[in-house]
Amino acid sequence: MRRGLPLLLLALWLAACGGEERDRRVRAPDGPAAPVRLGEGEGRVDLVAPPGHVEDEWVRAYEAQTGCEVRARVASTAGQLEAMVRSGAYDGVAAPGDVAAALVQAG
């Protein structure tokens, strides 16, 4: 009986791991359809980011291409960045991994 158990476990392991290649891609669940047309824009986007994350060159190019003004505030510390995001006054944030994780975890 004891000799049969390792052989049985080996056979089960081979059966589970072997065989034809399966499609292992993860698929997102179906969600609502993307809007066909967006509503009226506000004409401005408010961003908060650490120093050096908002470049004047791309801001000017974005504003010229879209006609949307970019107002970027710089947060010098992770705590300041987190507080500014939590204020709800910003449309977007460039956050380092630790701050992003804390924001996501807090909801």
Instruction: Give 26-56 pLDDT, tens digit per residue.
Output: 787 888 887 788 778 889 999 999 888 889 9
The whole-model pTM stands at 0.58
Tell me the two tokens of residue 6: 């390792």
Bridge partners, 71 (sequence order): 46
Which pLDDT score, from 0 to 100, does residue 18 have? 55
Q: Which of 43, 42, 65, 62 is nearest to 54 (CA)?
A: 62
Query: Does residue 92 sit in helix, strand or coil?
Result: strand
Map out the domains of the chain as residue ranges. Answer: 41-107
Residue type, 3: R
Q: What confidence score (pLDDT) does residue 23 get?
A: 62
pLDDT of residue 1: 47
Give the list of residues 6+ apart from residue 103 with CB closer than 8 angstroms, or none. Answer: 82, 85, 86, 93, 95
Whether the CB-CB separation of 54 and 47 falls below 8 Å is answered with: yes
**Paired tokens of 91:** 């449309």
Q: Which residues of the chain have pLDDT under 50?
A: 1
Give the pLDDT score at 45: 92
